[in-house]
Structure 1
Amino acid sequence: MRIFWKYLILLFKAQMQYRMSFWLLTAGQFIIPFTVFAGLYFLFEHFGQIRGWDFYETALCFGIIHMAFAVSECLARGFDSFSTLVGGGDFDRLLVRPRSTVVQVLGSKFEFTRIGRMAQSVFVLLIAVQGAAVEWTALKIVVLLLMIASGVFIFTGIFMLAATMCFWTIQSIEVANIFTDGGREVAQYPLHIYERWVTRFFTFVIPFGCVNYLPLLYILDRNDGNDLLYAAAPLAGFAFIVPCLLVWRFGVRHYRSTGS
């Protein structure tokens, strides 16, 4: 972790060499997502509710998943741009270093301008928390934080799986965006508004439903079963990273240099 933080500090200093560019990009990351949130607001302004969910309850879904995506984009950007390391032969240099390739790839790139998107997500969450009819307890606050952290692990795991494919394809595969950008768009609404197969896929295969929908039922006192099971649902997101790491290790063992 000390190496990881050194990577973090060095890349932050490097990006701050062009401060005007940094702050303009950060401001853009803060403003642009508001167009999506504005669309959500006007949708509820017209229809009032979606299958029993009001604006503030859905805004909780929106804020949680966008916060998780922003944090993952900031810290796991190295996996998202991993194809450049493979294509340029730079991954060979990482292999001869006596440290984990996961840490080195994570530390190869950070997108600090995503702080703007994080700030926008915090703003939405504050609006949702104040407006939603929730009796907040210590456990519910912990569950809310776990939901965000779980989402970070899921998005990072998807970035890792997409990066692993580069060992065989060299270039990144755009289909991975279905599960990153597409997963974010799907999970910003309650999952039960979709077809059953979509709900099941994003609950049991890629567990976005365990990030916001199932634990959110507990927070809103809508769950039908055991409270602890719904509160513990975000743990599935942490478990999701385990098979992703195993797939990554499999890819590293079968890596053949591009010869660049």
Structure 2
Amino acid sequence: MLGSRARSQRSYRVGFGVDLASSLLVGVVELAEVWVLFHNVDRLGGIDFAQVLLVFGLADLCFSLADLAFGHCDTLPTYVRAGTLDVFYLRPQPLLLQLVTSDLSLRRLARAAVGLAALVAGLVVNDVAWSPATVALLLVAVASGIATFAALFVTAAGLQFFLLDGAELTNAFVYGGRYAASQPASVWSRPLVVVFGFFFPMAFTAYLPALALLDLPGSDWLPGWLGWCAPLAAVWAWALATLSWRTGVRHYRGGGG
């Protein structure tokens, strides 16, 4: 089914190329914003542009891949309002699995390419002490970051069962969390550290693993050694996502058709 969706998108080559180009442009513009910011200051939050390039690359790559698989959970409010979500209950598959496989937007691969390029550039320009442990940390950070962002999409989808046209509210945390993850968390205020550092563990997707890769100390509330705890943050994020999704599904009573 996913293969047929991918083939259908590629069959319209001009439109598919435009989608890829627009997605690529968005990623490049966001990377340019980071460059403009650090072009005016030497260091921000204790890190320079070369180091924040690693943070941005990790955050953007992980978010883009999670968005590719789980980003269309944003369409859940449309299904709920139209009553078409009820059709999902008739199929012998879990509801969340059907929602995840209901669409596949290949244009998001272009955005992931920007994140991958930034990540590779960050690894090259920084003095990373490579070892088996460092390679393992990088692989675990990418896998955990994808899982954490995916959990954020599912958490937002679960809340849609309770909110009326609340997509904008949840998007503030989902896409705002992505933006926060691509910035040095050491400049966050204490409330932001609580919200995006621990409750929604965005700091564990890129900033803290980057500190661990670069062997930097970090701040009082977010020391660098916490970068090794990215898998625990992913588990916590999925615990929130599971609670939100199951509570929302139990709350749903049908479209009334």
Normalization by structure 1: what TM-score? Answer: 0.89
CA distance in 2, matches of 1:115, 1:167: 29
- Of the structure 1 ranges 136-145 and 109-118, higher mean CA displacement relative to structure 2 is found in 136-145
Query: 1:197 offset after TM fit, Å?
Result: 2.0
Does the CA contact (< 8 Å) of 1:203 and 1:210 recur in 2?
A: yes
In structure 2, what is the equivalent of residue 123 of structure 1?
117
The one-letter code of the counterpart of 2:144 is: S
SS at match of 1:167: coil
- Of all paired residues, the percent bearing the same amino acid is 29
Where does structure 2 lack aligned partners over 5 or more consecutive residues? none
For 1:81, what is the secondary structure of its paired residue?
A: helix
Equivalent pair of 1:87/1:171 in contact (CA under 8 Å): no
Distance 1:226 1:56, change over 3 A: closer
Is structure 2 residue 183 aligned with structure 1 residue 192?
A: no
Paired residue type of 1:141: V
| Aligned AA (1:133) | D
Q: What is the aligned-residue RMSD (CA, Å)?
A: 2.1
Residue equivalent to 2:146: 152
What pairs with 1:155-234 in structure 2 (closer than 5 Å)? 155-169=149-163, 171-223=165-217, 230-234=227-231
1:258 equivalenced with 2:255 (yes/no): yes
- Gapped regions of structure 1 (runs ≥ 5): 1-6
Encode CA deviations 1:111-165: one digit per residue, 9 max, x unaligned: 1100110111111111111101211222222222222222222222222222223
In structure 2, C-alpha distance between the alignment counterparts of 1:120 and 1:239, rounded to whole Å: 28
Taking structure 2 as the reference length, what is the TM-score of the superposition?
0.90
Sort the Cα spacing of 1:221 and 1:23 in 2 relative to 1 into closer, same or farther, 3 A. Answer: same
- Residue deviations 1:188-229 (CA, integer Å, cap 9, x gap): 111011212212221220011122222222111124899875
CA contact (8 A) 1:167 1:256 kept: no
Q: Structure 1, residues 8-36: CA drift from partner, whole Å, max 9, x if none?
A: 21211221221211121112211222122
Specify whether residues 226 and 125 from structure 1 end up closer, same or farther in structure 2 by C-alpha distance, changes over 3 A only. Answer: closer
> Please, which of 107, 116, 121 is the counterpart of residue 101 of structure 2?
107
Other-structure match for 2:35: 41
Q: Say which of 19, 32, 36 aligns to 2:13.
A: 19
Q: In the alignment, what sits opposite 1:65?
A: 59
Q: 2:50 is aligned with what amino acid?
A: Y
Q: Structure 1: which 4+ aligned runs deviate by more than 4 Å?
A: 224-229
Amino acid at match of 1:168: F
In structure 2, distance between residues paired with 1:200 and 1:242: 17
Partner of 1:84: 78
Q: Distance in 2 between matches of 1:214 and 1:114?
A: 25
Q: What is the distance in 2 between the residues matched to 1:229 and 1:39?
A: 27
